[in-house]
Amino acid sequence: MVADQTSGFTVEDVTVGRYAHGFGVTADGRSFAFRTHRSTLTVEIYRPGVTTAVPAPEDVEAVAVAPVTDIDLDDERSVVALVRDLIPQATVVPAAQPREATTVRALLGRLGAVIDGR
């Protein structure tokens, strides 16, 4: 666990390297997760009160993205510093709308019900 005394956030788990990722808690108590994909690091901050171990996409409240071309992904301090810098820059995402059932999804749902014998 890495706690930053100046900004008040905590990184509870971090894995470094090409596929660096981890999670933690912001200074105001919201959980967040980060991951790298190609040359970009994405931080997702979740809404307050998420009780599940794995938040759903609709639980994402804010997102921040930055290139990782200027940091050493094999250095834990560099990765944590980038995450620390990104948290205040996160922009609020619109609330996820429930998905409308498509024809294919409805058909697959009915086939699944027939197979299950409902």
- CA triple 29-3-14, angle to 5 deg: 95
Could you state, in order of their start, the residue ranges of all structural domains in the chain? 2-116
- CA triple 3-32-91, angle to 5 deg: 115
Name the phi and psi angles at 96, rounded to 5.
-70, 135
Look at residue 118 in the predicted model and tell me its pLDDT: 58
**Position 87: which residue type?**
I
**Position 5: which residue type?**
Q
What distance in Å separates the CA atoms of residue 77 and residue 56, rounded to the nearest whole number?
28
Look at residue 116 in the predicted model and tell me its pLDDT: 72
- Segment holding 60, helix H or strand E: strand 60-67
What distance in Å separates the CA atoms of residue 69 and residue 43, rounded to the nearest whole number?
16
**Position 7: which residue type?**
S
pLDDT by residue, tens only, the chain of 118 residues: 565 555 678 999 999 999 999 999 999 989 999 999 999 999 999 998 887 778 888 889 999 999 999 999 999 999 999 999 999 999 998 865 555 556 776 777 777 777 776 5
The pTM of this model reads 0.73
Look at residue 54 in the predicted model and tell me its pLDDT: 82
Which tokens is 73 given?
Answer: 């992904």
